Homo-oligomer: A and B are copies of this chain.
């Protein structure tokens, strides 16, 4: 029997390598159930891999796997953000568009798939500081992306830095609020308010 593409419980992941399938399964499960709520066996089952494979690729165990899952989520949102920033004429409109994209994805998952980075890292400050660090790096990266775009659009150094902070904070909080309320309004409103706030610094 073929070993790498067998089982293939993941629709589009059948062609991927075992390691990548494990990371993706871990990322999606922890996005929905958190770090503590997700078991290694569940991940291996969902990824169509065995326990042996998981510990082969991630000898550091659950923490190492979760760290990689966070980096995967980091990259996912980085792509969304970059696409929004590249697709709009000005940063304010780009952020609003990004909020709409997130709202759309959230609704499409029936309000289940929130931010994978937040969901995976929350509540692990004491037990798994590695996760906190990886999550902090993700936030910093997103913030840097927005900051660079604002500076490139002519905003002052300090304004760009502070606006980028609030953009990421607000998007994150609004996604959480939207998920809890099962309503995309918080995200759409946040997008409009962020655009207005950015424009007020022109």
Interface residues of A in 31-66 (CB under 8 A from B): 32-37
Which range holds the interface residue count of chain A? Answer: 35 or more
Copies of the protein in its oligomer: 2
- Residues of B within 8 Å of A165, CB to CB, are 174, 177, 185-186, 189-190
User: Measured between alpha carbons, how far is A56 from B114 in the docked complex, in Å?
Assistant: 35
Proximity bits, A100-140, B CB within 8 Å = 1, else 0: 00000000000110100011011111110000100110011
User: Measured between alpha carbons, how far is A30 from B118 in the docked complex, in Å?
Assistant: 16
Residues of A within 8 A of B (CB): 30, 32-37, 111-112, 114, 118-119, 121-127, 132, 135-136, 139-140, 162-163, 165-166, 168-174, 176-177, 179-182, 185-186, 189-190, 192-193, 196-197, 200
